Amino acid sequence: MVDPAFLRSLVWTDYRLAVLFTVLLPLVLLIWAFVQKNEAVQHLLTIYWKVASLLMITVYLMIGGFNISFLAALMARVLIPIGLWFWLDLNEEIREQPDSVLKLSFNSWRWAVTIYNILGAAILLPFLPCAFSATRFAAADCQLWLDPPLLYREYFHAGYTYGFLGFFGIVGLVIYVASLAWFVFVRLGKQGRQAMN
């Protein structure tokens, strides 16, 4: 059994790092890429935001108290690095660009967010049973993961019920899974690992 104080610290640290690595830094990089007219970085960051939207969906699922949120969180941690490194044409175009502060910053962030998500997935794996059992989901160690999303609700959605916000999480998850299925079963077969087709 993990010490509750340590786990609470780990959970809050994870959410703080998530805000930094998955929201603030890629937003700054996207704006910077638009200003510099760097289309390859813009394109890859646009793909990143589509993939990473599963993290926000997870927050709303946790607010709604849905145990599937743990599975969504793990999938987000897996899909984000894949989305950042999957595209052969974008990787080659970025690699062949002349050295610049934007290129260095983008590549540094890409490696950092990849490592962060791999470590985050490893940390989440022991909590995956929270996704498949209502009894396990109700346990204190699983419920600790819901504290930051519930605080987010207090700051940004205090006037809305947990169920109402959770409904948006479910709708978001259905759209996300449908989009992912379309990509895997239709688009991937046509264009392969080429993002610019």
Asked if 17 and 169 touch (Cβ cutoff 8 Å), the reply is: no
Query: CA 91 → CA 85, 115, 128, 134, 195, distances in Å?
Result: 7, 18, 32, 42, 10
**4 vs 143, residue with greater confidence:** 143
How high is the pLDDT of residue 192?
83
pLDDT at 3: 84
Predicted pLDDT at 197: 62
Distance separating alpha carbons of residues 196 and 141, to the nearest angstrom: 44
Taking the complete model, does pTM exceed 0.95, yes or no?
no
DSSP per-residue string spanning the chain: ---HHHHHHHHHHHHHHHIIIIIIHHHHHHHHHHHHT-HHHHHHHHHHHHHHHHHHHHHHHHHTT-TTHHHHHHHHHHHHHHHHH--HHHHHHHHHSPP-HHHHHHHHHHHHHHHHHHHHHHHHGGGGGGGT-HHHHTSHHHHGGGHHHHHHHHHH-TTS-HHHHHHHHHHHHHHHHHHHHHIIIIIHHHHTT-S--
pLDDT at position 64 over 80: yes
pLDDT of 115 > 80? The answer is yes
What's the whole-number average pLDDT of the chain? 95
Percentage of the chain lying above the pLDDT 90 cut: 92
- What are the sequence ranges of the domains in the chain? 4-191
Residue 7: per-residue pLDDT? 93
